[in-house]
């Protein structure tokens, strides 16, 4: 199985604009932003999608959300509000088979989404 684009970024085979990195995850600015703030929080462990996560992934999953919240503060969107999105599968608009959390902010979000 070939590496996902996110694995290549984690392994520094492809450059990306980093917003955060620690032992569990990396956060990068999206190359096709859908909001003025659009960051992807990606686990270093390959989990293809949230629907395939296991109980062993609980710490990593929680860490992704806590990291997204900390990044929202760092990027200045915590007070005004932001959206967290996890796409799962074709109908969920998943484009990369590597779990990631979208952090979107600095614009009014609509409901229901797309």
Catalytic member of 24, 38, 100, 102:
100
Q: Is there a contact between 18 and 28 (Cβ–Cβ < 8 Å)?
A: yes
Cα-Cα-Cα-Cα dihedral sign, residues 77, 78, 83, 84: positive
Annotated catalytic residue 100: yes
| DSSP-derived 3-state class of residue 5 | helix
d(CA 43, CA 29): 15
Catalytically annotated residues:
100
């Amino acid at each position: 199985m070939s590496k996902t684009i996110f694995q290549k970024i984690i392994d520094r085979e492809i450059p990306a604009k980093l917003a955060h990195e620690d032992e569990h995850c990396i956060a990068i600015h999206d190359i096709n932003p859908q909001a003025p703030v659009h960051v992807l929080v990606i686990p270093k462990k390959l989990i293809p999608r949230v629907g395939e996560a296991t109980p062993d992934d609980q710490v990593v999953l929680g860490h992704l959300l806590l990291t997204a919240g900390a990044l929202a503060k760092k990027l200045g969107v915590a007070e005004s509000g932001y959206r967290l999105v996890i796409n799962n599968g074709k109908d969920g608009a998943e484009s990369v088979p590597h779990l990631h959390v979208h952090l979107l902010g600095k614009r009014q979000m609509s409901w229901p989404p797309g």
